[in-house]
Amino acid sequence: MNNSDSWNTAAGSVQADWIGWLSEGKQRVFDLYERELETRYFMLSVTLDEAIGLHNHGSELKAIQNISIVPALCGRLTCYLQSMLGSLEVHVKRSALIPNVASLDPEHFQRQRAKYLARKCSLLSRILLTQRSGFLFKSNMVRELVCCLGDDFCSSAQELSFGDATSAHAKQWLDMDTSHFDLNTCLRESLVMLRCFLRVLPENQIIKFERTMALQLAALANQGTAARIGAPVFENISGT
């Protein structure tokens, strides 16, 4: 079976992992991290939707008041996402785990840079990487996407917050809307990767994984920014 065939087969395996059984300890971990991520996403989404609604109805001052808290809400989401993905990578590298993985689909993203990075991930995963290194590469790439989208999101929000409260910022509003969509895609991809990872994680490593997550989250939160955890894309991705 060649690499392309392996990746086609993996898509079905990922679907099986998503609906597959988890032990009580693993299900507890999945439910905890899913709840934390969904809560952070919900707070960001509700605030942004309300701001966009106010903007569309001409209430620019009220819309910009809502936008002023968006960077902090976005940072809470991206920080947690990057911490979780970084923790997955640490344990896959250390324990030689081989989780199932399906490549990113560029059609699931709206922003051009996100489409480009997803296309790059899909191409290189199919022709260069094994299943294990493909999981690491995809996780690293999603972290890259989360970082870029978070930066774009916050930059647009700040431009609007410090603007002149007019409707002359159509690009910034559109950028936030598309960044919001793509962050949601990254969140969904990350939850699928988490479940695939937990399916192969030994029971005796559950607590160690939670400790790694806590350390990653604390380290990134202390930086005061949604910067990348670990190395840039391609660096330290091994395990063929």
Residue 14's alpha-carbon distances to 113, 150, 199, in angstroms, are 26, 27, 10
Higher pLDDT, 113 or 229: 113
Q: For position 68, what pLDDT does the model report?
A: 86
Single-letter code of the amino acid located at 33: Y
pLDDT at 92 over 50: yes
Q: What's at 164, amino acid-wise?
A: D
d(CA 99, CA 104): 15
Q: At what angle do helices 3-19 and 112-128 cross, to 10 degrees?
A: 110
Average confidence (pLDDT) over 182-195: 97
pLDDT (0 to 100) of residue 62: 87
Most confident among 39-48, 57-66, 97-106, 223-232 (mean pLDDT): 39-48
Does residue 163 have a pLDDT over 90?
Answer: no
Nearest Cα neighbor of 210 from 87, 107, 100 is 87
Q: Is the pTM of this model over 0.75?
A: yes
Q: 172: pLDDT confidence band, cut at 50, 70 and 90?
A: confident
Residues in Cβ contact with 81 at an 8 Å cutoff, skipping those fewer than 6 apart: 37, 142, 143, 146, 186, 187, 190
For residue 133, the model assigns a pLDDT of 87
Mean pLDDT of 37-53: 94
| pLDDT at residue 180 greater than cutoff 50 | yes
- If pLDDT is split at 50, 70 and 90, which confidence band does 57 have? confident
Measured distance CA(152)–CA(133) in Å, rounded: 28
Contact in structure between 204 and 26 (CB atoms under 8 Å):
no
Q: Check if the beta carbon of residue 229 is closer than 8 Å to that of residue 216.
A: yes
For 41-64, what is the mean pLDDT?
90
Which among 221, 148, 229 has a CA at the least distance from the CA of 186? 148
pLDDT at residue 43 in the model: 96
For residue 230, the model assigns a pLDDT of 39
Which of 36-40, 76-80, 151-155 is the least confident region?
151-155
Name the pLDDT band for 225 (thresholds 50, 70, 90): very low
pLDDT tens track for 118-160? 998 888 877 766 888 889 999 999 999 999 999 988 888 888 8
Residues 220 and 226 sit within 8 Å (Cβ to Cβ): yes
- pLDDT mean across residues, the chain: 84
Contact 186, 180 (CB under 8 A): no
